[in-house]
Amino acid sequence: MNKRNLVVLSLTLLLSACGFQLRGTGDVEFGLKELDLQSRNSYGETRKQLKQVLESNDVHVHAGAPYSLNLVKESERRRTASYTSSARSAEYELTSTLDYQFRGPQNLLLLEDSIEVQKVYVHDSNNLIGSDQEAAQLRQEIRRELVQQLVLRIQRITPAQLDALQQAAEAKARAEAEALEAARRAQDAQPQQSPIELPMQ
């Protein structure tokens, strides 16, 4: 074994010994052990990647889970960030936003939030194919980062937290239903006014 390989091997062992892992790799410990995953596009790439990460970390994704994660909306916008002096190329900023919700039994909304990722790329009018390929690659990177950020948020959620949110949502729903019922009873208790009779001319 030459010196170069020996140095690389030594560094690898040293980094692994101190717990170093490349970003986005390694096992992630989840508080939730089961989850229903909903999205408008059941075959979308974001849902597919997220489901893969969850299942690879021992989270059972199935329709009968007590709590569901809904990928409500994924949107993308592009704006010009800057122009070059020749105006033949420009920097574009891609922004992707993912809106999501956690829902519990009776489809009660427990929490909702969104994740936003921005990236900039150069669009060269003299190299359209290369620019389009760079934009496509950037979109893939953005999606991976969206999924990674969402995974980190899911990781911090525990069943106890969702149970507490469910109880609060149920109490709120009961209070609203009781208020509506009280308003209806109050309206029914009011005497109905007889129609006004106009004098005949």
- Where along the chain do its domains lie? 30-176
CB-side neighbour CA atoms (13 Å) of 98: 26
DSSP 8-state assignment for residue 106: G
Average pLDDT rounded to a whole number, residues 111-124: 86
- Summary mean pLDDT of the chain: 80
Confidence check: pLDDT of 183 > 70? yes
109 CB burial (10 A radius; 0-12, 13-18, 19+): middle
Average pLDDT rounded to a whole number, residues 110-128: 81
Position 6 scores a pLDDT of: 42
Average pLDDT rounded to a whole number, residues 115-128: 77
Cα angle 103-104-109, degrees, rounded to a multiple of 5: 45
> By mean pLDDT, which of 19-33, 48-62, 77-91, 140-154 is the weakest?
19-33
The residue assigned the tokens 């969104």 is: 114
**Per-residue pLDDT tens digits for 172-181:** 989 988 898 8
Confidence check: pLDDT of 36 > 60? yes
Confidence check: pLDDT of 50 > 80? yes
Confidence check: pLDDT of 17 > 80? no
* Domain at 30-176: CATH architecture: 2-Layer Sandwich (3.30)
Confidence check: pLDDT of 190 > 90? no
Q: Decide: helix, strand or coil at residue 190.
A: coil
CA distance 102 to 84: 44
What is the band of 22 on the pLDDT scale with cuts at 50, 70, 90?
very low
Average pLDDT rounded to a whole number, residues 39-51: 91
Average pLDDT rounded to a whole number, residues 24-53: 85
